[in-house]
Structure 1
């Protein structure tokens, strides 16, 4: 469990933190350079490599793994004394960060790790503490000292601080710490229970629930776009690298930070409102990356559906509400009343089924379909209430129930009537 707090380091501490960021960035880039050189020297046959363009590494040189690069840090400190100013475990976690990215790249097949430019490395981690670093209204960071912290909510009883991540925001003018807490208490998975609703996300309405409630979409970026454009224009007129240019860039970054905070605050409040109304929530498993590449990409990025689903899942876990995602394909093209296919374009905002005559708003019909699919999933898995033979999908049981519902006696229910 992570808690984020605002800290207020003094000028000396801010300068030291920024130096640590740049040192970690240099270590990250150096380790990545070793990794790329080793790969480049082995991407083709030995007798066909170019001696002028390829970096040749001996064939018996092992792969620069995490443990090898971590063990080389003490040697590097002797050659580069400024590395000794940074806490040793902070440099080790920087190497760990690179190899986590490398392992993720090998798993997904794309997204090779990139070099970090100046200002792109914005965090580092203290992985462990012997004692609780938070004391009253200060947090004690190794080699940094005590830093004032805005402890807006206390550490829960029974939890201890496992690690602390220091974050830099708004071009190094705002600082935060993400405190990771751990406890020996094991929290069981939330079962399916209580009232269930399905939600549909969209651009006309940000959220529409199956109980006919909806939430309008605040346009965070578009409402501040005019002021943001003015600040960007002022920054573009300044001489690059000057103090006035840096001040203008800070104003632009502060505006972006404010927009992001307003959006996150709205997402959290909406998630809590959903948890107040239901104990089981189903949502669409949207292709968030695909939405950011379409014609409405600006509005989709401004709505941040991916962030909302992630925060909703976290809020549901914290409050004991069951949350699950369902297949989003065809939820707006299927009638929730009779399950017939009703094709309609995006310009059609009303659902009208020609088979059963069911009429409602398009987003409401999609939310009802999400609820229907979610209930089907949990029933087929035996998660809803008491499990019966009808709920595990046994062959023939569904037909038997239909015959009984039609009034056919049990003795005549051996075969269907043709």
Structure 2
């Protein structure tokens, strides 16, 4: 196996801090939240004082006074010493963590004001309420000047102490830990190690691609391949909504801010966390199965954000196509396989056998063409995706089913019984 590149992997482990360390971690999060809000307020104040509509003066609605210097990461980072002098509690926070907090704000600010190559911009940075900032980053690990050192299953953090790490899986040999992020979830504290993995294989040469498929994602079936294999929608959120609604009704009857309210809110948050973990594990299982089975996977570039504004938003967000496609592409790179996104327009209408347009509504789940091809709608779309994605590649497209087969073709469901840590069979 040849290796010519590297990629960043994230391994997350649960921490077992003492009660005193939990207090320190929570205090750090609160102080960093206040500093975020202050730094964001400086930037917004500068923006209000320096912008004005073309046909009016900003003095009508803005305070009179000198225009402050433009704040950026460097000016705000240089003010950290002054912050520590005015508020001694910030001296107890590792300096790199405070700088990383300002870097996050700077990235969010630039995403909002500066569009990317496609002209898209991020949302406006928001002030954080209590508990919103529940993570902080140590940018260096196991280096001489690092604030975090991992020895065995003990993580030593500067100004916090040694914390036991529950290593439920080993860290790959040869990988270098670049940074450590401490984060809080509803069921405890975790650490996310960013690993530089240098064992990424070269992409499989195009002329060596032997197996390829197209995948059509949907709500009736999670996905259907061009070979007629289909996976059911797990509907984790739907199956949990009755239990979640019961716990939310209990939360509504609690006095806001009381200890009982906080306990019940934690129960609700743990339900959401469990559903998210179920969904993520399912995505990894499907991704590993696809990447192991095929050298090239063609998928459709969907406007998921637009689809999530329709009446099917709850079901679309439950299946989380966007998260799955990201995971699948990352798994493919890790194994040296190819993925390709194509325009989905016309894939469910055009016949995969003869290319003729067969208009149909979403309620029609069978593709029935005058050429004699009767096939599942999603299967037909997956074959078209494979044909579109294999254009220009020296591999044979699927070509559709033979038009001499007028019998309705049924998809076969695949049962996934594997873990993302082991290869799917």
Q: What is the TM-score with the length of structure 1 in the denominator?
A: 0.85
- Match status 1:48 vs 2:57: yes
The match for 1:405 is: none
The match for 1:246 is: 262
The match for 1:14 is: 22
Residue 133 of structure 1 aligns to a residue in which SS? strand
The match for 1:80 is: 87
Q: CA 1:141–1:194 in structure 2 vs 1: closer, same or farther (change >3 Å)?
A: farther
The match for 1:58 is: 66
How far apart are the structure 1 equivalents of 2:121 and 2:86? Answer: 36
Equivalent positions of 1:261-340 (< 5 A) are 261-340=277-356
How far apart are the structure 2 equivalents of 1:45 and 1:307? Answer: 40
How far apart are the structure 1 equivalents of 2:17 and 2:130? Answer: 21
Offset from partner CA, 1:34-87 (integer Å, 9 cap, x none): 000000001117982336x4244534x431011111111111111111111111
Residue 163 of structure 2 aligns to a residue in which SS? strand
Q: CA 1:88–1:288 in structure 2 vs 1: closer, same or farther (change >3 Å)?
A: same
- Match status 1:174 vs 2:193: no
Q: 2:34 aligned to 26, 32, 38, which one?
A: 26
Q: Would you say the 8 A contact 2:200–2:333 is kept in 1?
A: no
Q: 1:115 aligned to 119, 122, 127, which one?
A: 127
How far apart are the structure 2 equivalents of 1:45 and 1:226? Answer: 51
The match for 2:154 is: 138
Q: Shift of the alpha carbon at 1:320? A: 2.1
Q: Would you say the 8 A contact 1:37–1:55 is kept in 2?
A: no
Q: Would you say the 8 A contact 2:216–2:223 is kept in 1?
A: yes
How far apart are the structure 2 equivalents of 1:221 and 1:333? Answer: 31
The match for 1:373 is: 388
Q: Shift of the alpha carbon at 1:239? A: 1.4
Q: CA 1:45–1:56 in structure 2 vs 1: closer, same or farther (change >3 Å)?
A: farther
Q: Shift of the alpha carbon at 1:190? A: 4.7
Q: CA 1:275–1:238 in structure 2 vs 1: closer, same or farther (change >3 Å)?
A: same
- Match status 1:202 vs 2:215: no
Gaps of 5+ in 1: 387-418
The match for 2:165 is: 149
How far apart are the structure 1 equivalents of 2:360 and 2:158? Answer: 61
How far apart are the structure 2 equivalents of 1:109 and 1:183? Answer: 31
Gaps of 5+ in 2: 1-8, 397-425
RMSD in angstroms over aligned alpha carbons? 2.0
Q: Would you say the 8 A contact 1:38–1:57 is kept in 2?
A: no
Q: Would you say the 8 A contact 1:191–1:322 is kept in 2?
A: no
How far apart are the structure 1 equivalents of 2:219 and 2:263? Answer: 35
Q: CA 1:278–1:184 in structure 2 vs 1: closer, same or farther (change >3 Å)?
A: closer
Q: CA 1:55–1:166 in structure 2 vs 1: closer, same or farther (change >3 Å)?
A: farther
Q: Would you say the 8 A contact 2:216–2:299 is kept in 1?
A: yes
Q: Shift of the alpha carbon at 1:288? A: 1.4
Q: CA 1:190–1:17 in structure 2 vs 1: closer, same or farther (change >3 Å)?
A: farther
How far apart are the structure 2 equivalents of 1:302 and 1:360? Answer: 27
Q: CA 1:56–1:145 in structure 2 vs 1: closer, same or farther (change >3 Å)?
A: farther
How many residues align structurally?
376
Q: Would you say the 8 A contact 1:8–1:148 is kept in 2?
A: yes
How far apart are the structure 1 equivalents of 2:212 and 2:64? Answer: 62
How far apart are the structure 1 equivalents of 2:53 and 2:383? Answer: 59
Q: CA 1:185–1:318 in structure 2 vs 1: closer, same or farther (change >3 Å)?
A: closer
Higher relative contact order (CA 8 A, sep 6+): 2
How far apart are the structure 1 equivalents of 2:157 and 2:40? Answer: 28
The match for 2:140 is: 128
Q: Shift of the alpha carbon at 1:244? A: 1.2
Q: Would you say the 8 A contact 1:164–1:179 is kept in 2?
A: yes
Residue 50 of structure 1 aligns to a residue in which SS? helix
